[in-house]
Structure formats: C-alpha cells, structure tokens
Amino acid sequence: MEGVDHLADERNKAQFDVEEMKIVWAGSRHAFEVSDRISRLVASDPAFRKDNRTMLGRKELFKNTLRKAAHAWKRIIELRLSEEEASRLRFYVDEPAFTDLHWGMFVPAIKGQGTEEQQQKWVPLAYKMQIIGCYAQTELGHGSNVQGLETTATFDPQMDEFIIHSPTLTSSKWWPGGLGKVSTHAVVYARLITDGRDHGVHGFIVQLRSLDDHLPLPGITVGDIGMKFGNGAYNTMDNGVLRFDHVRIPRNQMLMRVSQVTREGKYMQSNVPRQLVYGTMVYVRQTIVADASNALSRAVCIATRYSAVRRQFGSQNGIETQVIDYKTQQARLFPLLASAYAFRFVGEWLKWLYMDVTQRLQANDFSTLPEAHACTAGLKSLTTSATADGIEECRKLCGGHGYLCSSGLPELFAVYVPACTYEGDNIVLLLQVARHLMKTLVQYRSNVLKAEDWLKPNVILEAFEARAARMSVACAQSLSKIDNPEEGFQELSADLVEAAAAHCQLIIVSKFIEKLQQDIPGKGVKQQLEILCNVYALFLLHKHLGDFISTGCITPKQASLANDQLRSLYSQVRLNAIALVDAFNYTDHFLGSVLGRYDGNVYPKLYEEAWKDPLNDSVVPDGYHEYVLPMLKQQLRSARL
C-alpha cells in the first residue's frame, strides 16, 4: 500500500541510535548534514531523473548525461556551493560523466605536478569549467606498465616546442574518460626525448579541441571507443581514443614541478623531490577505497531490505518465512554488510594517511612513503575486488528479481566493475605490495592467545598478524632458494599475491578495531560496530581457514570455536540489519532500486515498472505481422531443417 512503511516492524527492532550511526557512517556531524541536504536536493530535482537510463540508446543516453552535467554545474553556481558540497552533488547525481575525470584526475594532476606558475594559469580555468580536461595515460598497448608507454614528446630547441606524436597504432591513447567527445584539454603522458635521449614518461598539458567550434585541432584524431558492458551503466561516459600526428605545444606546457627542460633543451631535476608525484597517486587511490564502501553499501542496502520483504517457504498459519531469517542468507549477506562498514573505516584512515604523507613530503620527510604507497595499492585492490564480487552476490541474494534492471543491481555492478582495472590492475597492485613486504618483512607478533573467546580484539588481531607474517616469511624463504630474484618473483607470484592480500586484510581488521577504541556516542552504536567488526574478521578467518591452520596460527579446535561465534553473531546482526543499512542514509533516488525502497513497497512498484518498458508501448509488437503471423499461418517458404 502507498504511504505505508512495510519495514516498520524491522526498524522497531533496532537496538541502537540510528541517527548517531548515520553520523558515524558519514564521518562527522558536518559531513552528515552536508550529505543529507545535498542528497535530498538532488532527489527532489526532476532534472536528475535516472529511472529510464537503461532504456535509452547510446546517443540519447550520452546527450542526457551532458544535460545533467550542465544542470549540475548551473545549480552549483546558483546555490554557491562549496567544493565539498559540489563534490557531494556530483556523487548523488550518480551518473558517470566527463566531469568525474575533470575533477578527479585532470585538476589533481596539474595541482600535484605543475609548477606554481602553471597552476596559476590552468587551475582557475579548470575550476571555472572554461576548459574541460581528462587524463590521457593508458594506451591501446599499455596500461599497468606505464614505463612501456609509446607516445613521444620530442623537444625542438629551434621552436622552443614539444612535438607530441603517436608512432604506432598501439601508442593510441585508449580509455580516458571524457576524451571521446567532450574534453578540450588533456594531461598527456608521453616519453620525453631531448637531443635523442629518452628521459622516460612525463606529463604534458595538450589542447585537443577548439574552444570556438569544438573541432579537433590539426594533427589530432579523437573519438569514442564504443559501447561497454551493461545497458546504461558506464556508457554515459565517453571513453576515448586519441592519436597525435606531430602536434606541437609550447615548452611551458610540460608539467615541470619535479623535472624541467630549459630553453636550451637541457633536462634537469627541480629542487622539488620527485616523490611528491606519489602524493597524487595516494590521493586517487584513497578515493577509490571510499568509493568501494559507497558501492558495496548500496548493494547491501538493496539486498537487506528486499531480504526482509521477501517471504518464501516455511508457511505457518499462512505466513511464509522472511528470506532474511534463513541462515544461508545471513551467512552470505551479513559479511558483506560488515565489509561495507570495514571499508568505510579503512577509507577514513587512508584519508588521514594521505594528509599525513602530504605534510611529511612538504617537510622532505619520505620515511612513510613506501608504506603509504603499498597500503593504498593493496587496499585499492582488495576493496574493489571484494566490492565487485559483493555487488554480484547481492544480486544473487535477491533471486530472479535481482536480474531486473529495475532492481538497480545489474547497472550498479556494470558501473562499478571497471574499478578492478583502472588506476592499477588489482593483481599487479598486490604484486607491488608483495615486493614491499619482501623488502621489509614487517615483524608482527605471532603468538596467538587462548582462543576461547573470539570476541576479544587482541585475539583476532594476533591471529591475523601471525597469518600475514608467516605467509610473507614463507614466500621470502622460497625466494631465497631461487638464484635469480626476478625469476623467483615470477615463479612465486600466486603465493605472493595471497601474502599481500593477507597483509591488506590485517590492515582493514586493525583499522576497524582502532575505530572501536575511539569515543563513539549514541545508545548501542559502539556495540553494533563491535559485532560488525567481529563478523568481518571471523568471516575472513572462516573463508581463509586453510591459511590460518597451515601456518600454525590457530588449531582446528580454535577454528571450530571461532565458527560457533560467527553463527551467534549473525543472529545479533539480524535484529539490527534494516537499521544498519538505514544508517547509510541513502534516498530512494540514489539507490535507484525498486527492491531497495525505504518503505519496502516492492511488488506494486515492480508491476508498475514493468509497464514502463518501451516494448509495452503497443499491445502487438512491431514485427509481428512481418515475422510471427506468417509462422502461425504456415506461410513461410519450405525449408529443409
């Protein structure tokens, strides 16, 4: 029934202050108030409608995205939104667009790698959207191996210019978002060549299109790379292909904060430490971890609410059992709920880490940089892989209806899954973490305490520390037996990836435990977070039981006790499940899911959505008289079958 909260009984079971949990999830009261206000602003604006997105053709879909991006910019100016508010507005509009790369990659690249003079020239133009930029690094033939990029930037000392050129087909820039149809400028990564010498890959600001008629400038071939996975999904983004035919740019459009080319063509390092470049990478990857928490929490919210609405089997007095009450459903769903919170808190820590590293770099302190680089690389890999898998699991948890576009889950998956590849392939990143571990071999405590009570943080933490340490040591010992270190690394890469993942899981568990040591206000809030922390850790222990037992971290008896505790924890989560996803504070507009509606009024809305499909515009489908009727009337020409 319209206007009735079908999940009211579930919400009344909550054993904690949901409003306070919303603040914990947002990170602060201020962040909550901004997000709450902006999300409602977007939800109430019909210009940001998105329920028809999966039914639009590519051209119409893309034009619709341009319209929304323009409307969003108009509202940002009219309402005089701060940078934080504008960022939240783009987030809640919830549509991949050229603006994502402009604000998320183009601007940070100039701020991180440009000189003060370059920033003064280009950043104001970008902030006013007088130019629109993208980040052109990946090529048709090279992605993760940045040092293998083929685009060249050759200095011409006579003209004081760089000549940007694509010498091969595989040197074509391929994938940059915003490049295909919109961007006027790009930060292009190319091999710097002066006087015949290759100085490696550097960044250059290159204008691509005329600011008058938007046509590509001479020597530039640019377009869209075509349809991608999913219906609407990431097809709102104009991922592009770009080729240069001896395109000339002024020397001062090389990003020169770290290294420079003089008027005479001499290549030299500036007095700014080269390590500063890594600050941008740390920033981008910490935002990706935060995005993982956002995407997983959306999927979990949909699956949890629908699991409480849906009833199947176990009929007593004519009332069937809620799907969420089945232990198999809980064992699949609740670890994902716990993971959403875990990723949120490790994302908060990474945000702090980025600020700490930035301050240290400015003071010429590089001591924490290798660990920060390894942490962000590993956590980007772990959280994005777990989130992509988790969204798909949530779709399956919703049964057949989860396969409908109106469930919101297929599109959420299609939009999210490229995160496993962009900004570093996830396996390649874990191997980078493994290299760091082999160099440092962090000495964890490895004596596990009595395991009778698996709810003690120190017991959990020491088990994860021991597992991570012993897996790393085992890899190091195996490497030492192989004469050629690089060959050994290749041979043992599968084991090294597992050791790196164990290290990253330890970080997430430890940061969740650290969060619990803070002063957390609100009735029952801290207790619920403790339950979720234990669910996350004990689920990982159960999932990777072989690692924990084979490395001698725990005994089979202790593993059995831990599993008993995990089952007990699921029962505690069950009472609060709906309230815990309500704490994400997502509007129905943002969720974009009939199954995940706040009021739980699923079935009438599913029925209503079905009739909106263009196929239902006519009772008799186009093509019936041409193809189906002749079949029915036996009027098709004879054929040998």
Q: Which of 95, 392, 423, 530 is catalytic?
A: 423
319: Cβ contacts below 8 Å, ≥ 6 apart:
311
Q: Give the integer Cα–Cα distance in Å for 405 and 230.
A: 10
Nearest to 78 by CA among 47, 35, 113, 122: 47
Q: Where does residue 619 rank: exposed (0-12), middle (13-18), buried (19+ CB within 10 A)?
A: exposed
DSSP 8-state symbol, 217 = P
Q: Give the integer Cα–Cα distance in Å for 335 and 302.
A: 15
Q: Indicate the annotated binding residues for FAD.
A: 138, 177
Report helix, strand and coil shares of the chain as percent, to nearest 5. Answer: 60, 10, 30
Q: Give the integer Cα–Cα distance in Å for 176 and 112.
A: 19
What are the distances in angstroms from CA 53 to CA 149, 230, 307, 384, 460?
A: 36, 11, 26, 24, 45
* Catalytic (active site) residue 116: no
Q: Indicate the annotated binding residues.
A: 138, 177
Q: Give the integer Cα–Cα distance in Å for 542 and 564.
A: 11
Q: DSSP 3-state assignment of 220?
A: strand
- The alpha carbon torsion through 10, 15, 17, 20 (nearest 10 deg) reads -100
Place of tokens 């609740």: 334
Q: Give the integer Cα–Cα distance in Å for 610 and 158.
A: 67
Position 102, amino acid: H
Going 119 to 372 to 390 to 518, the CA torsion angle's sign is: negative
DSSP 8-state symbol, 514 = H
Nearest to 512 by CA among 469, 457, 559: 457
> Helix/strand/coil (H, E, C) string of 390-415?
HHHHHHHHCHHHHHCHHHCHHHHHHH
Q: Which helix (H) or strand (E) holds 207?
A: strand 197-207
Alpha helical stretches, state H, 310-451: 327-362, 369-397, 409-416, 426-440
Q: Where does residue 167 rank: exposed (0-12), middle (13-18), buried (19+ CB within 10 A)?
A: exposed
Nearest to 393 by CA among 303, 454, 311: 303
155: Cβ contacts below 8 Å, ≥ 6 apart:
161, 162, 163, 192, 193, 194, 195, 251, 261, 265
**Tokens coding 555:** 């005994």
Q: Where does residue 117 rank: exposed (0-12), middle (13-18), buried (19+ CB within 10 A)?
A: exposed
Q: Which helix (H) or strand (E) holds 65?
A: helix 58-78
By annotation, the residues acting in catalysis are 423
